[in-house]
Chains A and B, each alone.
Chain A
């Protein structure tokens, strides 16, 4: 008798906001400048320096809240989260504790618990081989990053697998990118994710003991890390050992999980209201401004593609969740000879998501390719008009991907136009039947299964330029069926 376990995951996502200046001072955000060149008394935590909240960060926070369907607080305050570490110059981080800017909401089937604003820590660089503060000969601090505005997005524990976590994060990243609030680049640290993971026997209401997986810096590692941790917890429970509450680090190189901190070492952050800042009152004007700044979001775009363009949900999602793909597709649709129209949308979407992506590679933005949106739109229209067959069309696309150009001109130059009409195609069909007498006999006898052999023959002869339906018609006429 074997117990089945289910996984319960909640995510905490830190997003660096794309403001001009830091969260609580007027230093510009850093983009790899020499260490400690973007600092001031405030972000260095010098004596007597005071924070002033960045209104733009609050604006971006409100946009995030609106995009995630959160309830926006009419009044929000900042709190001090206190602990000692060299990357935290004041000995506390200004964050939000019990009155976050946004609460509730959800996206992609995952509920959002809250969204709050805080300041990023500075960057520690450890000399020596350990790469950690323990055991390094010396550690130096670069305060350029310190004080960068962060939005922390916390989900409810609604995620049940590594794959779902990955999917949710992709949707969230696209949403934030479309909002323009962040670069959302995991490698550069503008999007960071921690996962709270527990497992429990299927059917058990009570949650298992959770562990926290910290600072994973790519979607792939997040999924790998979660899988590794779920496997570790399951092995423990199956061996009759308890899971202990701790913070873990996943090393993507070795794929090993190491403990950073146990519950006994957990901090008492001694949160209290930041006395240097007054509470933020969210005015109707601020809400109006945030609302006006909202673009169409991926979830809404998917819905629109399904509703207005009758796209298949999977296709609509693929186009909507990959903003650059969706943008390219809509540009192509607008350039199609029939105009921005639902009738042209289906085939064009399929050509984009299947043929084009396969040729370009999954992660390539088509805008960077040789294929102009109008070119694909034209090609799809030519296929629909049977000026060129689907097969020949794919050959045309090969050329477009390789060197760009105009589909009609390529068809002309390479002689890829459809071979149609009795005059040209009938002799080819005749020859095919003559070359395959046994097949012709079976067809004549009413067994239509080997029709494909004849069509294949004709296609070879015409280099794919013949239309299968027309060939079948001619075969039937030839054989008097």
Chain B
């Protein structure tokens, strides 16, 4: 039998448009599934089906949307996976959530995440880890783990995530779905609880490329409330390409090989062969500085985070620990309600910005960032898109890397350089390894989302990866 929650968003929208499906019925199906879920993917689920009259008349027809917890949603808990914001219901709504609501999505729930988006396994959430629907003993990836798991498990047709160094692409890969990290600046950051301002970017998760394109088409746009937002110079077109003729794909010399699990490498190589079969050429490209990406990232992102998280001081909102004087109140509040990984990054970032260390760390990392961006510019003179495995491995067991931050950070090895360069990239499933999904990352020059989506669409059709929620697990 066909489950309503197996429908892609586009299929559901078409059915609602033609009168074959009722928007409220669809919302109810998802709401029931989300309310009953056992993955810990949600931190809040709508307690009733809203009046969908206006939404159902808008282009996205009231189709439910799961939203990563760190997007502020007025009157609804927005806790960014942190104890320090426990129970916080902001008065304002993130621009991108407003835009999508205006386009006709309806808020289904808020999804679990690593605290303040710091993590690659979703184990850093103050509200407990999220389980991977493919194997409940494994992580879904992070930091947008709740969104990825919810979409993969049929608990949402699509979802919003954010990507700072891989936080959309890596969980999409580990959960066998599609996730797009757009060009920095195309989607407003207003109302997104910040991790690292110069890297954070909101993006869509869905079960296929078409849905990702459709959701993204309603997300971007210049926002006067975000000085760094530029919008997208062209409309996002739903992809139709069936072939990849003439497309030049580049595989970085320095980004493959060592550290990549054999099963991931095998799926990746097979996907490259599929691309050649579709008419693409595959060649090696040099990204000489990409290897320094992680080091630069783990200076820049914590530095910005140490500053962005200063506002959580117990004075105005969120949790506060009582104390006899101001400084004790600050230290006790932040000690009691920030998690370990957040504290670790605040300390690293504070150190990197300290007088006497700034030039060696922060300024140095920014120079590396510039060099990496130049590498990509040079590479894209010779190829149209760059492809890598999204993550060096498949979903790993819960707890496997929690005691080893450096091993955890290596999850972002392929995704971080692209973030540092501000470029768009998609992750789509390209096969299985040990019965778990493998993700393929496709990156392009700034604002090349349409090109990326077209290639990903053709690839998706040829690879025929089945991400139907009710069949997850059956594929193993």
Contact of A276 with B227 at beta-carbon distance under 8 Å, contacts A48-B193, A84-B310, A89-B311 already known: yes
Q: Is A270 in contact with B353, judged by CB distance below 8 angstroms?
A: yes
Which of the 9-residue segments B86-94, B120-128, B273-281, B440-448 touches chain A?
A: B86-94
Given contacts A84-B330, A90-B311, A270-B353, 11 further A-B contacts (CB under 8 A): A46-B90, A46-B91, A48-B193, A50-B225, A80-B307, A91-B310, A270-B354, A272-B353, A276-B226, A276-B228, A277-B228
Q: How far is the CA of A275 from the CA of B185 in the complex (A)?
A: 12
The smallest beta-carbon distance between A264 and chain B, in angstroms, is: 14
Q: Is B235 an interface residue (CB 8 A)?
A: no
- CB pair A86–B326 under 8 Å, yes or no, is yes
B71 partner residues in chain A, CB cutoff 8 A: 48
Tell me if B48 counts as interface (CB < 8 A to partner A): no
28 contacts between A and B (CB under 8 A): A41-B92, A45-B311, A46-B72, A46-B92, A46-B316, A46-B317, A47-B85, A47-B90, A47-B194, A47-B312, A48-B71, A48-B94, A49-B190, A50-B227, A82-B353, A84-B310, A89-B316, A90-B310, A90-B311, A91-B311, A133-B326, A134-B325, A141-B315, A270-B306, A275-B304, A276-B226, A278-B227, A278-B228
Task: Determine if B313 and A84 form an interchain contact, defined as CB atoms under 8 angstroms apart.
Answer: yes
Tell whether A45 pairs with B194 under 8 Å between CB atoms, given A91-B310, A276-B227: no
User: Once the chains bind, are B190 and A48 in contact (CB under 8 Å)?
Assistant: yes
Question: Interface size on B (CB < 8 Å)?
Answer: 46
B binding-site residues for A, Cβ under 8 Å: 70-72, 78, 80, 85, 88, 90-92, 94, 189-194, 196-198, 224-228, 303-304, 306-307, 309-313, 315-317, 325-326, 330, 350, 353-355, 358, 362
Say how far B36's CB is from chain A's closest CB, in angstroms. 30
Distance between Cα atoms of A134 and B327 in the complex (Å): 11
CB neighbours of A133 from chain B (8 A): 326
- In the bound complex, CA of A225 to CA of B350 (Å): 37
Write out, one digit per residue, whether chain A residues 38-70 have a CB within 8 A of any chain B CB (1) or not (0): 000100111111111100000000000000000
Q: Among A45, A91, A272, point to the contact of B303 (Cβ < 8 A).
A: A272
Q: What per-residue 1/0 map shows which CB atoms of A264-295 lie under 8 Å from chain B? A: 00001011100111100000000000000000
- Scoring A47, A53, A134, A276 by chain B CB atoms within 10 A of each residue's CB, the highest score goes to A47
User: Do A48 and B310 have beta carbons less than 8 Å apart?
Assistant: no
Determine the chain B residues whose CB is within 8 A of the CB of A276 once the complex forms: 194, 197, 226-228
B315 to A89, Cβ gap below 8 A?
A: yes
What 10 A-B pairs are tightest by C-beta distance, nearest first?
A91-B310, A275-B197, A270-B353, A275-B198, A47-B193, A48-B191, A48-B72, A41-B92, A45-B311, A268-B355
B362 adjacent to A272 (CB under 8 Å): yes
Mark each residue of chain A from 382 to 399: 1 if its CB lies under 8 Å from any CB of chain B, else 0: 000000000000000000
CB-nearest residue of chain B relative to A24?
B227
A437 to B311, CA, bound (A): 94
Interface residues on A, range: 20 to 34
Is A92 an interface position by the 8 A CB rule?
yes
Q: Which of B85, B91, B312, B330 contacts A41 (CB 8 A)?
A: B91
Which residues on the B side are within 8 Å of A268 (C-beta)? 354-355
Provide the residues of chain A in CB contact with B70, threshold 8 Å: 48
Name the residue among B71, B307, B309 with the largest chain A CB count within 10 angstroms: B307
* B364–chain A nearest beta-carbon distance, Å: 13
Chain A hits for B354, CB < 8 A:
268, 270
In the complex, per-residue mask of A215-228: 1 if CB is within 8 Å of any chain B CB, else 0: 00000000000000
Contact of B80 among A47, A90, A134 (CB under 8 A): A47
The CA-CA distance from A52 to B197 in the complex, in Å, is: 14
For A44, the chain B residues whose CB sits under 8 A away are 316
Q: B227 and A53: CB pair below 8 A?
A: yes
Residue of B nearest to A274 (CB): B197
| Bound-state Cα–Cα, A45 to B227, Å | 16
B358 to chain A, nearest CB (A): 7
A266 CB to nearest chain B CB (Å): 10
Across-interface contacts of A91 in B (CB, < 8 A): 307, 309-311, 313
Contact partners of B228 in chain A: CB under 8 A: 50, 275-278
Most buried by A among B94, B224, B303, B316: B316
B189 proximity list for chain A (CB < 8 A): 48, 50
Distance A50 CA – B91 CA, assembled complex (angstroms): 15
* Minimum distance in angstroms from A372 CB to a CB of chain B: 50
Closest chain A CB from B348 CB (angstroms): 13
